[in-house]
Amino acid sequence: MSTTVFPIVEAFDQPAPRHKWTLLGTARITDGLELTSDEGQQMGAAVLEESFRSTADVVIDFDFMTGTLSATGAAGNGFCCYLFDASAKTTPGAHGPALGYSFLHRGGTKEPGVSKGYVGIGFDNSGDFATEQAGEGAMQDPQPGLVGVRGPGDLHEGFPWLIGTQVPGGFHGGWQDGLRARIALIAGQLTVTLFGNAHPKGVVVIDRVGLATELPTSFKLGFSAGTGTARAVHRIRNLRVSLPVEVPLLLSGPETSAWGDTVHYTATVVNRGPNDCPDVIVKGRFPAHVHGLHLVCTCSGRATNGKGTVHGRDFSQPVSLPAPGNGPESTATITLQCTIDDDYLGDDVLCTASVGTASCTNTAEKTTDSVRTTVVETTITPTYRQIQSWQDGQVYVITYEITLAAVERKVTWWRLWFGGLPEHSGLHNKQDLWVKVNNDGFDGKDVDLESPPNSTIKEGDPLTLRLQVGYPSKEAAGEGELTGLRAHERQVGPE
Residue 146 region by backbone torsions, left for phi larger than 0, else alpha for psi between -120 and 50, else beta: beta
pLDDT computed for residue 132 by the predictor: 92
pLDDT computed for residue 378 by the predictor: 66
- Provide the 3-class DSSP secondary structure of residue 5: coil
The residue among 208, 187, 244, 222 whose CA lies nearest residue 59 is 244
pLDDT computed for residue 95 by the predictor: 83
What are the distances in angstroms from CA 303 to CA 269, 327, 468?
10, 12, 56
CATH of 8-244 among 1.20.1250.40, 2.60.120.200, 2.60.40.2300, 2.60.40.10: 2.60.120.200
In the 8-state DSSP scheme, what is residue 454?
T
d(C-alpha 120, C-alpha 97), whole Å:
13
d(C-alpha 30, C-alpha 59), whole Å:
25
Burial class (CB in 10 A: 0-12, 13-18, 19+), 189: middle
Print burial letters for 59-97: b (CB count within 10 Å at least 16), e (below 16): bbbbbbbbbebbeeebbbbbbbbbbbbbeeeeebbbbbb
Better-scored residue on pLDDT, 355 or 71: 355
pLDDT computed for residue 452 by the predictor: 85
The residue among 189, 327, 220, 277 whose CA lies nearest residue 1 is 220
Whether a cis peptide bond, with omega within 30° of 0, leads into 274 is: yes
Listed in sequence order, the residues at least 6 apart from 459 whose beta carbon sits closer than 8 Å to its beta carbon are 406, 407, 408, 409, 410
Q: Cβ of 176: how many Cβ atoms within 10 Å?
A: 8
pLDDT, one tens digit per residue, over 245-272 is: 999 999 999 988 877 788 999 999 999 9
Residue 342 region by backbone torsions, left for phi larger than 0, else alpha for psi between -120 and 50, else beta: alpha
pLDDT band per the 50, 70, 90 thresholds, residue 345: low
Q: Where are the beta strands (DSSP E) in 125-233?
A: 146-150, 153-154, 157-158, 161-166, 180-186, 189-196, 199-210, 218-226
Entry field: residues in the chain: 495
Residue 67 has pLDDT above 80, yes or no: no
Tell me, yes or no, if the pTM score tops 0.85: no
Average pLDDT, rounded, for the chain: 90
Q: For the chain, state the CA radius of gyration.
A: 34
Residue 493 has pLDDT above 80, yes or no: no
**φ, ψ (nearest 5 deg) of residue 341:** -55, 140
Q: What angle do CA 187, 188, 193 make, to 5 degrees?
A: 90
Residue 454 has pLDDT above 80, yes or no: no
Q: What angle do CA 57, 58, 60 make, to 5 degrees?
A: 160
The residue among 237, 181, 236 whose CA lies nearest residue 44 is 236
pLDDT computed for residue 72 by the predictor: 46
Q: 407 - beta bridge partners?
A: none
pLDDT computed for residue 106 by the predictor: 84
Burial class (CB in 10 A: 0-12, 13-18, 19+), 393: exposed
d(C-alpha 332, C-alpha 268), whole Å:
6
What are the distances in angstroms from CA 421 to CA 200, 239, 251, 366, 391?
53, 64, 41, 50, 17
Do the Cβ atoms of 115 and 154 come closer than 8 Å? yes
Better-scored residue on pLDDT, 342 or 222: 222
d(C-alpha 56, C-alpha 49), whole Å:
17
Residue 326 has pLDDT above 50, yes or no: yes
Better-scored residue on pLDDT, 271 or 485: 271
Architecture of domain 380-489: Sandwich (2.60)
Better-scored residue on pLDDT, 251 or 326: 251
380-489 and 8-244 share a CATH fold? no
* Mean pLDDT, residues 134-140: 90
pLDDT computed for residue 122 by the predictor: 96
pLDDT computed for residue 71 by the predictor: 47
d(C-alpha 220, C-alpha 241), whole Å:
11
Q: Residue 335: what residue type?
A: T
Domain residue extents for the chain: 8-244, 249-375, 380-489
Percent of the chain with pLDDT strictly greater than 70 = 96
Do the Cβ atoms of 379 and 489 come closer than 8 Å? yes
CA atoms within 13 A on the CB side of 360: 28
Do the Cβ atoms of 32 and 64 come closer than 8 Å? no
The domain defined by 249-375 folds into Immunoglobulin-like (2.60.40)
d(C-alpha 285, C-alpha 315), whole Å:
6
Residue 333 has pLDDT above 70, yes or no: yes
* Mean pLDDT, residues 101-107: 90
d(C-alpha 471, C-alpha 478), whole Å:
10
Residue 104 has pLDDT above 80, yes or no: yes
Q: What angle do CA 23, 26, 32 make, to 5 degrees?
A: 70
Least confident range of 101-115, 279-293, 392-406: 101-115
**φ, ψ (nearest 5 deg) of residue 477:** -65, -30
Better-scored residue on pLDDT, 126 or 288: 288
For residue 283, the Cα-to-chain-centroid distance in whole angstroms is: 10
**φ, ψ (nearest 5 deg) of residue 70:** -70, 170
| HEC per residue, 269-280 | EEECCECCEEEE
Residue 78 has pLDDT above 70, yes or no: yes
pLDDT, one tens digit per residue, over 372-384 is: 998 876 678 899 9
Residue 73 has pLDDT above 70, yes or no: no
